Structure 1
Amino acid sequence: MTATEWITDIILILVVFRQLREGRLDLKSFLIPLGIVAFVAYMYLDTVPTGGNDLVLIGTLMSVGAALGVAGGVCTRIRTAGEHILIKAGAVSAILWVAGMGARMAFQSWVEYGGGADDVARFSITHHISGDQAWVAAFVLMALTEVVTRLAAIFIRSRSRSRSRSHVRVRTESAPAAAFERTA
């Protein structure tokens, strides 16, 4: 792994630790992780191989990424304080995020430094996976899927939270007027 790959992977892991402290849900909450995975996709995703069982590998890892992302988004605490929506990644959300990002780093390290290249090559031949680029695409798209589904879950939950809060505010603000109309 190059220094850039290590730095990028570590930054992706640290993104969730930034959210262990409760903070305001704003545009930065979405743009920073999306920007990082967009950079990773730009740097490493040259093509999406479709030969053999490449799409099965890619789809499988994307499904794992989606499951981790949705679970992480659901396990992120969302609450309102005044007009602001606050989020905080809980322990489960952090563990899921680190597990997904860490598993990719561990796999890459095992292949490059731990003697796993031959095992992956045998697995690829046995399962009709075309080669290195299929693995790269699968892991990059897994990370992208994990980030996007996590953010989507947080966004949907925050919208429903803000809608229910504005519904309560409208009902309480209209209550005095209704009481006044009955007495008049």
Structure 2
Amino acid sequence: MLPILNTKVQDQEYLTRIIMAKVTTELLIAQADIYGIEVETETLPDGLLGKANAEIKTITMNTSIEHISRLYKCVLAEEIGHILYPPRPGHVRYHSTGFVNLHFNQRGNTKIIVAQDERKALDWATSILIPDVEFDRIMEAGNYTIWEITERFDVERWLVDHKIGRYRRKEMDQGRKVKWRDIIKRSI
């Protein structure tokens, strides 16, 4: 619960502190709890960092990333996105061994469905971990490297790449063409 403040100046300062604060793993776990999502940790197969089961509202995180806080936080945010935006029919089938037995057209459609479901989860994760208002300011300034952005928001590179793609799509929808070189400073 947010405290009630007396003046507009205090309100502005308080809101600025909230906006500038980085989202932590603990905050994500608390948010998952509010949504009724259980987060557990166990050893998962190599390459699988986390998995979400939307039917029983459970996220399983791989113990191998438990102490890599930045990666853990990013994967957890994406998995929460999968619970909030559950996969449509076909997604589970895609991850099963029977996928290769599907007719070619079925495989193509399934891949599209999976890509769209993944985008929804990633969009949610980037919205939480990289707030639009602050990110838009950084993009308009155009003088930050990818690595400076990852440090500023304490997120993984792949999440920043997705956010930039989302920013570019949003700008394109408004009739503006945005190139990477115009918004991201090159690393030296």
Give TM-score, length-normalised by structure 2.
0.25
1 or 2, which has the higher helix percentage? 1
Q: Which has the higher contact order (CA 8 A, sep 6+)?
A: 1
